[in-house]
């Protein structure tokens, strides 16, 4: 499921992020991937030990905690602390698939089910830099306004096209969902959205309650903790 979630960060928050990132120290993005990824990756990232990364990452997680669409779509169980990257001067990341199991830094590990990119620059600030996600329906180009989030299955083949003008800044992270299967997550989101629409439209309360029960029983049946 490829889903655009608008307005995760507002304009004031974006400015806070941009000011912090403009003064940050960056490192080669190849340091956080294996040999295969390093062959197709050319960008900059905040170092893993960067205090700016920790501070801004915490702000991203706080914003996500207030976003009902994100929670309904992703159903997060574990989240890798957000990282930050910068593409400029032809920087790109060729087609790749994200790692399946990732270390949380506490000795624990998580499975990557959902990949997330939070855009921190406006589309007209740079040329190129589209996130391209390939699935059974073809290739989908994504280039969103600052503050908007895209979520997609971590199993997807994807790339970031070369940035030929300006700079592309983004936060990115991975989530282990309560629901491993992408098709089931989609069904639950569609059901939850329908319940919310019916409730707001004043539908029969007993019918809405029954549908709500179906949603939670499916979640109970499919959830992994």
Q: Which parts are annotated binding residues for Fe cation?
A: 96, 98, 158
Burial environment of residue 85 by CB neighbours within 10 A (0 to 12, 13 to 18, 19 or more):
buried
Q: Who's near 192: CB < 8 A, 6+ residues apart? A: 72, 215
Q: Who's near 106: CB < 8 A, 6+ residues apart? A: none
Task: Output the CA angle 120-76-29, nearest 5 degrees.
Answer: 40
Known binding site for 2-oxoglutarate: residues?
A: 168
Known binding site: residues?
A: 96, 98, 158, 168
- Is the backbone of residue 181 left (phi > 0), alpha (psi -120 to 50) or beta? beta
Distance, in Å, from the CA atom of 84 to the CA atom of 12, rounded to the nearest integer, reads 18
């Amino acid at each position: 499921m490829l889903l655009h979630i608008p307005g995760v960060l507002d304009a004031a928050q974006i400015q806070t992020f941009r000011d912090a990132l403009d003064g940050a120290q960056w490192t080669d993005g190849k340091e956080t991937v294996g040999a295969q990824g390093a062959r197709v990756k050319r960008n900059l990232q905040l170092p893993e030990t960067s205090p700016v990364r920790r501070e801004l990452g915490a702000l991203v997680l706080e914003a996500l905690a207030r976003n009902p669409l994100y929670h309904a779509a992703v159903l997060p169980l574990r989240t890798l602390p957000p990282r930050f990257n910068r593409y400029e001067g032809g920087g790109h990341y060729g087609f790749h698939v994200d790692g399946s199991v990732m270390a949380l830094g506490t000795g624990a590990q998580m499975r990557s089910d959902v990949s997330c990119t939070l855009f921190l620059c406006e589309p007209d600030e740079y040329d190129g830099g589209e996130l391209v996600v390939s699935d059974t329906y073809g290739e989908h180009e994504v280039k969103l306004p600052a503050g908007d989030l895209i979520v997609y299955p971590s199993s997807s083949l994807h790339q970031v096209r070369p940035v030929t003008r300006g700079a592309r800044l983004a936060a990115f992270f991975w989530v282990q969902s309560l629901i491993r299967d992408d098709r089931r997550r989609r069904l639950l989101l569609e059901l939850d959205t329908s319940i919310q629409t019916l409730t707001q439209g004043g539908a029969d309360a007993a019918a809405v309650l029954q549908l709500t029960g179906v949603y939670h029983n499916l979640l109970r049946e499919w959830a992994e903790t």
